[in-house]
């Protein structure tokens, strides 16, 4: 007897850490026998860190089946189960089918199809037509004449002529044996299905169903399950079980193993959890702002949702306006819309163009905000008094929000900052640029830049980032009559926003924290990928390790690799714990690989 072959089936936790899910011996006759043999080359890993982004995480693991464990007569079935927040969810299974196993399945389907085809579905085929015609021709020629007579004859007329009905005649000449045998086949459909199709071929509800034609080479499948992150979710677990079948015979049951645990990291952990007290004067009036990139056709000012990334940008501003309108703590007073342009063209034409664009944007969002208020404040009507009496009171009406349009014809100030921080321009290029930027006349300054060696790069790369639309929101605290209030009480509104960050309910956090315009507001913006708004806040804060780390994340998202690298390096130098933290966030781990940050590890 030839020696048995020992091997394993494993689930591999990326990258390159494996978890043993089965230890077995394949005997010479193909039987699977459990064994305690463990390959010394395998590393057991029970957990890994995954990053939440946009409210979702990807849970990844790998199913590896060595070539020796695949027999063409077998079907391997793997069943992952997800455990999250006390619930269990069966994920889509993975099926690996040997080619001989699939052939046997198809052969069963062919046999069942052959059986189905043997069942007579046309009842006229069960009648002895020849005998019926002979009988009628010899004994009832009047009836036989109906064979070639197309005249309609009812069953009652037929009976009045010959004393029998049409059904009686057909029943008399029906082949009883064939009818019985055909009915018996119909009654055996279920049994025949079970006999021929021992294991049905399932197409739906599977993550993978593949047929292996040979046993050469290992089979590897990377399983990715995307999970929507709910508030308070900190970890998820996946357990993998499996079976091996030869047709309908179970030849091995994969024993249960401890699940893989995924610890979910989030930018919410970077929030400042300190209690927020109002220790100075609280102003009744509050300002908040955000910026976006709305594309316009060249020389035009019409807001077109289908142009460029406008659908996403406009949707974000609409979401901001809707949350402000529904906010229970602040009332919206007015909105200032400022459109900016890049320097190409004359200053006068840019002034006219940005003026038209700001007015167009203000009109566009004024209409939208009015539609939001229409849903919050229905048509004016009278209500009963609060005491239940008949004294009517007028229902509240929608406020009129003033939109003020302003323009920044040429956004030179932002261009200066972009040139200063650009990692593609040389120091010589920057020096020449700032020498020209001191020219008071913007048209002359732009004209002189045409001969600048890096002008083409600046125009193609930096100019598009100058064409922004900024929104300044002016609000006041609801129910507050005085212009200022002195208090040291805990700001419960702010703390609700902070709790929303901890619960990963970022939309609620943004709607509450937007007026505060502070570090935690930037964390909420960054968690929702509102990078322009987060960047504007962070650039005005002290350069703490946390601020520098968030700036590194944002610049990495925006494709500014060198700037992102610089901010990350500063955060690690000030707080070495961010070296480890960088491995948890995909934006930073990509920087580590790209720039080989050996010096700070």
* 150-168 pLDDT per residue, tens: 555 555 555 455 555 555 5
Confidence of residue 65 (pLDDT cuts 50, 70, 90): confident
Which of 197-206, 281-290, 404-413, 470-479 tops mean pLDDT?
404-413
pTM across the whole model = 0.46
Same structural domain, 111 and 188? yes
d(CA 525, CA 537): 10
**Are 86 and 96 spatial neighbours (Cβ–Cβ below 8 Å)?**
no
> Is residue 338's pLDDT more than 90?
yes
Within a domain: residue 310? Answer: no
Same structural domain, 176 and 227? no
* Residue 207 Cα to chain centre, angstroms: 17
> Mean pLDDT score of the chain, rounded to an integer?
78
Measure Cα distances from 179 to 70, 135, 186, 191 in Å: 48, 21, 11, 20
CATH number, position 16: 2.60.40.10
Same structural domain, 78 and 42? yes
Residue 523 confidence (pLDDT): 95
Same structural domain, 88 and 155? no
Same structural domain, 131 and 112? yes
Identify the CA nearest to 128 among candidates 85, 86, 166, 171. Answer: 171
| pLDDT tens digits, one per residue of 103-145 | 888 888 888 888 888 888 777 666 666 666 666 665 556 666 6
Buried b (16+ CB within 10 A) or exposed e, 436-453: bbeeeebbebbebbeebe
For β-strands 75-84 and 94-98, DSSP reports them as: antiparallel
Within a domain: residue 412? Answer: no
Confidence of residue 533 (pLDDT cuts 50, 70, 90): very high
Same structural domain, 547 and 570? yes
Within a domain: residue 215? Answer: yes
Residue 553 confidence (pLDDT): 92
Residue 363 confidence (pLDDT): 93
**Mean pLDDT lowest for which of 61-65, 128-132, 536-540, 572-576?**
128-132
Boundary-marking domain end, from 249, 264, 279:
264
| pLDDT tens digits, one per residue of 417-433 | 999 999 889 999 998 88
Within a domain: residue 294? Answer: no
Kindly provide the residue ranges of all beta strands, DSSP E only, lying in 430-537, ordered along the sequence.
469-477, 484-486
Tell me whether the omega of the peptide bond preceding residue 480 falls within 30 degrees of 0, making it cis: no
- The total domain count for the chain is 3
Residue 400 confidence (pLDDT): 83
d(CA 284, CA 301): 35
| pLDDT tens digits, one per residue of 226-265 | 888 876 777 899 998 888 898 888 888 877 778 888 888 8
Same structural domain, 86 and 219? yes
Residue 453 confidence (pLDDT): 86
Confidence of residue 285 (pLDDT cuts 50, 70, 90): low
Boundary-marking domain end, from 264, 294, 311:
264
Within a domain: residue 182? Answer: yes
Residue 16, phi-psi category: left (phi > 0), alpha (psi -120 to 50), beta (remainder): left
Confidence of residue 355 (pLDDT cuts 50, 70, 90): very high
Identify the CA nearest to 282 among candidates 475, 139, 435, 543. Answer: 475
- For 96-142, the three-class secondary structure string (H helix, E strand, C coil) is EEEHHHHHHHHHHHHHHHHHHHCCCCCHHHHECHHHHHHHHHHHCHH
| pLDDT tens digits, one per residue of 460-475 | 899 998 988 999 988 8
More confident residue, 115 or 210: 115
Within a domain: residue 441? Answer: no
Boundary-marking domain end, from 196, 219, 240:
196
Same structural domain, 29 and 163? no
Residue 381 confidence (pLDDT): 46
Residue 583 confidence (pLDDT): 79
Domain that includes residue 579, residue range:
542-601
d(CA 96, CA 151): 64
Within a domain: residue 365? Answer: no
> Is residue 1's pLDDT more than 70?
no
Within a domain: residue 447? Answer: no
Same structural domain, 182 and 230? no
More confident residue, 582 or 537: 537
Residue 572 confidence (pLDDT): 93
Residue 37 confidence (pLDDT): 33
**Are 74 and 248 spatial neighbours (Cβ–Cβ below 8 Å)?**
no
**Are 268 and 523 spatial neighbours (Cβ–Cβ below 8 Å)?**
yes
For β-strands 330-340 and 402-408, DSSP reports them as: parallel
The residues, ordered by sequence, that sit 6+ positions from 129 with a Cβ below 8 Å of its Cβ are 173
> Is residue 77's pLDDT more than 70?
yes
Same structural domain, 117 and 94? no
Same structural domain, 119 and 88? no
Same structural domain, 227 and 150? no
Q: What percent of the chain has pLDDT over 70?
A: 74
> Is residue 524's pLDDT more than 50?
yes
Average pLDDT over residues 529-543: 93
Identify the CA nearest to 522 among candidates 495, 551, 494. Answer: 551
- DSSP structural state of residue 174: B
């Amino acid at each position: 007897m030839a020696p048995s072959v020992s091997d394993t089936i494993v689930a591999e936790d990326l990258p390159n850490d494996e978890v043993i899910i089965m230890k077995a011996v394949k005997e010479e006759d193909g039987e699977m026998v459990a064994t305690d043999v463990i390959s010394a080359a395998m590393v057991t890993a029970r957990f890994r860190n995954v990053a939440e982004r946009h409210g979702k995480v990807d849970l990844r693991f790998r199913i590896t089946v060595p070539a020796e464990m695949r027999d063409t007569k077998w079907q391997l079935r793997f069943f992952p189960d997800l455990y999250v927040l006390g619930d269990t969810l069966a994920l889509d299974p993975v099926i690996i089918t040997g080619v001989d196993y699939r052939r046997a399945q198809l052969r069963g389907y062919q046999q069942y199809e052959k059986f189905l085809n043997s069942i007579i579905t046309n009842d006229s085929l069960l009648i002895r037509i020849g005998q019926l015609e002979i009988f009628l021709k010899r004994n009832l020629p009047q009836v036989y004449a109906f064979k070639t007579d197309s005249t309609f004859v009812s069953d009652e007329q037929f009976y009045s002529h010959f004393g029998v009905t049409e059904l009686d005649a057909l029943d008399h000449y029906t082949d009883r044996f064939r009818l019985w045998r055909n009915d018996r086949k119909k009654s055996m459909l279920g049994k025949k299905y079970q006999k021929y199709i021992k294991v049905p071929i399932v197409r739906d509800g599977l993550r993978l169903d593949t047929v292996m034609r040979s046993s050469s080479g290992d089979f590897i499948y990377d399983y990715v399950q995307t999970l929507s992150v709910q508030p308070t979710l900190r970890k998820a677990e996946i357990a993998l079980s499996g079976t091996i079948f030869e047709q309908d015979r179970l030849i091995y049951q994969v024993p249960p193993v401890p699940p893989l645990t995924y610890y979910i990291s989030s930018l919410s952990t970077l929030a400042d959890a300190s209690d927020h007290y109002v220790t100075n004067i609280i102003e009744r009036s509050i300002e908040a702002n955000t910026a976006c990139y709305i594309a316009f056709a060249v020389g035009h000012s019409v807001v077109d949702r289908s142009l460029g990334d406008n659908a996403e940008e406009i949707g974000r501003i609409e979401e901001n306006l809707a949350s402000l309108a529904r906010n229970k703590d602040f009332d919206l007073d007015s909105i200032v819309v400022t459109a900016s342009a890049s320097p190409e063209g004359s200053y006068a034409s840019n002034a006219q163009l940005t003026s038209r664009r700001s007015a167009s944007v203000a009109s566009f969002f004024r209409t939208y905000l009015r539609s939001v208020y229409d849903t919050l404040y229905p048509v004016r009507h009278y209500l009963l008094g609060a005491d239940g009496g008949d004294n009517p009171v007028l229902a509240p009406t929608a406020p009129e929000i003033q939109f003020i349009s302003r323009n920044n014809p040429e956004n030179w100030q932002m261009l200066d900052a972009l040139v200063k921080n650009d990692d593609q321009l040389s120091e010589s290029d920057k020096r020449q640029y700032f020498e020209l930027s001191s020219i008071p006349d913007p048209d002359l300054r732009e004209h002189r830049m045409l001969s600048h060696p890096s002008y083409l790069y600046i125009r193609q790369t930096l100019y598009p980032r100058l064409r922004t639309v900024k929104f300044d929101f002016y609000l006041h605290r609801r129910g507050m009559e005085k212009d200022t209030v002195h208090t040291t009480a805990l700001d419960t509104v702010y703390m609700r926003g902070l709790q929303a960050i901890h619960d990963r309910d970022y939309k609620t956090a943004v709607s509450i924290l937007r007026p505060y315009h502070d570090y935690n507001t930037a964390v909420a913006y960054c968690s929702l990928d509102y990078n322009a708004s987060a960047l504007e806040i962070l650039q005005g804060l002290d350069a703490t390790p946390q601020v520098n780390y968030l700036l590194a994340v944002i610049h990495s998202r925006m494709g500014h690799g060198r700037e992102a690298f610089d901010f990350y390096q500063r955060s690690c130098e000030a707080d070495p714990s961010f070296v480890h933290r960088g491995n948890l966030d995909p934006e930073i781990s990509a920087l580590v690989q790209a720039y080989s940050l050996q010096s700070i590890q």
